[in-house]
Structure 1
Amino acid sequence: MSAGLTALSTGFQGFARYLGGLLGADAYTKYLEHHRASGHQEPPLTEREFWRDRTDRQDANPQGRCC
């Protein structure tokens, strides 16, 4: 029974990561990884600044999105 619950939990976590990726929930993490890998000298945006900037850019340049 425990192995079944572990497999179910692992499957659910994988699905949640996949769904989060589709919805853009991991965008800030990807931004930080890119920022580090690119060797920027300035500090990265805070998470709040990142989401504000992303929303402002989407509002200024609307593209094919549902909402």
Structure 2
Amino acid sequence: MSSAEAIQVVHQMMEAREREMAAAMQPVTKKYDPASTRMEFWAEVAVGPLTVVSIFAWALLMAVAQ
């Protein structure tokens, strides 16, 4: 390996190290947030079944109203 190739390899290693350090210095964005957990629950779990029940109740009401 020539010295130019060795210098290139060292520079690549230094750049990789800098990228790793930059990634490690970024703040953690995924923290546990109870409010967002509740919002996800209502958005995904409860709204779907509530919509189905509401549609069924409306259809039943319309059938009875006739």
Q: TM-score, normalised by structure 1?
A: 0.37
Give the structure with the larger helix fraction: 2
Q: TM-score, normalised by structure 2?
A: 0.38
Which protein shows a greater Rg? 2
Q: Structure with the greater relative contact order (CA < 8 A, sep ≥ 6): 1 or 2?
A: 1
